[in-house]
């Protein structure tokens, strides 16, 4: 099984949703007819990102708003005060139906889209944009059957679009332009809304009763936590954390709920259609590698769907869409924290899978800096493709929107293309080295395009992936 891609080249001078420049954006892209999880892992480690079946890489020293690949270290991650606030808000809602007033300051303040070549599709980063689930034209309970049928069709039809159930979603997003179905979070005006830094007022007697009840439940339910499940996953019970240690992320997510809790939150996980080929190696995670829909069910009603890619070394977030009636739960932040915890759980069985990729970090756009709050995290150097702790990058980014993070001036891109003739192409239903293919070509622009592609994807991917040539 090999990845088959069609390089589309440079796309420059188009609209940027971050700074609203009408012609400031620049990126190179390719259409992925199929792709292995290892190839995509190597591509995102060189600054690429998928938007449906379109895979693109910003031209960092040309684009108006440089987008740096960011990854979080889940094994060392400790939730911040604002993250804990979101988790506690969810628990209060599930236990008592309490709804916090005002907006969550940690929610992204704007939406962004990456237009695919010729408007084929638009990327929705799960932390950036929230789509209205009420626009879906069919019940998501039958999503897995729909997706499997569409996947079979896409394998037979070259260049078909990724279908996110149902078709209405594709129609809304395919143009690359925002529509009424996309809900953009707007924060409260200064001086308006509830003070989220203060907990809601509660009586001391009520708090004592709740603590006693939780303590009894924890004692009776010790050892009942079974971790994450692929289907029907409830908010479970964890043993009480030691009092002299801060609560872990899992402690906060799975904190005990009273028996008379008003709401029940469950999860299901399904494979979904994407260019990534599903793989189930013996030494991989139980769920396998590929693209997955994670559905969030509240009292039997679906309220959110997140898409993630599970790759050899990471869980990569793609996007989230949810019912705007539940925006008060800060589902973008909540789902990111759930996915960080999920990455930790996958790591227990697959040790090399130890990172959580959050897409792009855009420092030149202040309202898009929130991803840097998930610490510890690294940014990818756009020239040498090494990971650098974000704390070391921020001073440079404050001075210049485009930066080389690798401080060694002699360092080079170790994964760069070194032998163009070893690049593999797919021509007339046959795979062959580029050194053989070029002997039959007379177009002088051919080699320039192939060389550009090879430098962007690197030597390893150029030797494994098949570059489709007409």
> Of 48-62, 111-125, 277-291, 374-388, which gets the smallest average pLDDT?
111-125
pLDDT of residue 219: 54
Other C-beta atoms lying within 10 Å of the C-beta of residue 350: 17
pLDDT of residue 167: 31
pLDDT-based confidence at 1, cuts 50/70/90? confident
Average confidence score pLDDT of the chain: 79
Kindly tell me if the per-residue pLDDT of 126 is higher than 90.
no
Kindly tell me if the per-residue pLDDT of 121 is higher than 90.
no
Higher pLDDT, 250 or 214: 250
The 10s digit of each residue's pLDDT in 179-207 is: 233 333 333 344 443 443 344 455 566 66
Instruction: Determine the Cα–Cα distance for residues 271 and 37; give it in Å rounded to an integer.
Output: 14
* Span 357-374, average pLDDT: 96
For residue 233, whether the previous peptide bond is cis, meaning omega lies within 30 degrees of 0, is no
pLDDT-based confidence at 215, cuts 50/70/90? low
pLDDT-based confidence at 212, cuts 50/70/90? low
* Span 306-317, average pLDDT: 97
pLDDT-based confidence at 299, cuts 50/70/90? very high
pLDDT-based confidence at 227, cuts 50/70/90? very low
pLDDT of residue 82: 95
pLDDT of residue 154: 43
> Of 16-30, 176-190, 275-289, 430-444, which gets the smallest average pLDDT?
176-190
pLDDT-based confidence at 441, cuts 50/70/90? confident
């Amino acid at each position: 099984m090999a990845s088959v891609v069609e390089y589309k080249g440079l796309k420059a001078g188009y609209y940027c949703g971050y700074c609203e420049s009408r012609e400031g954006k620049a990126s190179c892209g390719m259409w992925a007819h199929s792709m292995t999880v290892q190839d995509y892992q190597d591509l995102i480690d060189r600054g690429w990102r998928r938007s449906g079946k379109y895979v693109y890489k910003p031209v960092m020293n040309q684009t108006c708003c440089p987008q740096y690949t960011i990854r979080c270290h889940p094994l060392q991650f400790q939730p911040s005060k604002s993250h804990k606030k979101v988790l506690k808000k969810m628990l209060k809602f599930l236990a008592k139906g309490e709804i916090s007033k005002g907006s969550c300051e940690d929610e992204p303040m704007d939406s962004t889209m990456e237009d695919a070549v010729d408007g084929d599709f638009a990327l929705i980063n799960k932390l950036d944009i929230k789509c209205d689930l009420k626009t879906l034209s069919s019940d998501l309970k039958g999503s897995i059957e729909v997706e499997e049928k569409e996947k079979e069709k896409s394998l037979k039809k070259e260049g078909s679009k990724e279908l996110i159930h149902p078709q209405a979603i594709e129609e809304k997003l395919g143009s690359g332009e925002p529509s009424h179905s996309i809900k953009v979070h707007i924060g409260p005006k200064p001086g308006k809304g509830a003070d989220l830094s203060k907990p809601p007022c509660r009586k001391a007697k009520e708090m004592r009763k709740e603590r006693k009840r939780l303590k009894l439940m924890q004692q009776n339910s010790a050892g009942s936590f079974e971790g994450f499940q692929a289907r029907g996953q409830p908010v479970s019970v964890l043993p009480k954390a030691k009092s002299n240690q801060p609560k872990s992320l899992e402690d906060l997510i799975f904190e005990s709920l009273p028996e008379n809790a008003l709401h029940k939150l469950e999860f299901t996980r399904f494979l979904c259609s994407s260019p990534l080929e599903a793989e189930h190696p013996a030494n991989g995670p139980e769920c396998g590698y590929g693209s997955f829909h994670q559905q969030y069910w509240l009292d039997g009603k679906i309220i959110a769907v997140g898409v993630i890619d599970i790759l050899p070394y990471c869980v990569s977030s793609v996007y989230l869409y949810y019912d705007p009636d539940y925006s008060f739960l800060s589902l973008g932040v909540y789902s990111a924290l759930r996915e960080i915890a999920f990455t930790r759980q996958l790591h227990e069985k697959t040790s090399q899978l130890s990172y959580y990729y959050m897409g792009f970090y855009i420092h030149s756009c202040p309202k898009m800096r929130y991803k840097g709050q998930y610490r510890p995290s690294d940014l990818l150097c756009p020239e040498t493709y090494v990971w650098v702790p974000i704390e070391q990058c921020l001073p440079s980014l404050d001075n210049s929107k485009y930066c080389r993070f690798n401080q060694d001036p002699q360092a080079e891109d170790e994964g760069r293309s070194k032998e163009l003739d070893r690049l593999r192409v797919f021509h007339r239903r046959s795979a062959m080295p580029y050194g053989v293919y070029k002997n039959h070509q007379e177009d002088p622009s051919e080699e320039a395009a192939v060389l550009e592609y090879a430098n962007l994807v690197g030597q390893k991917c150029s030797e494994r992936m098949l570059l489709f040539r007409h």
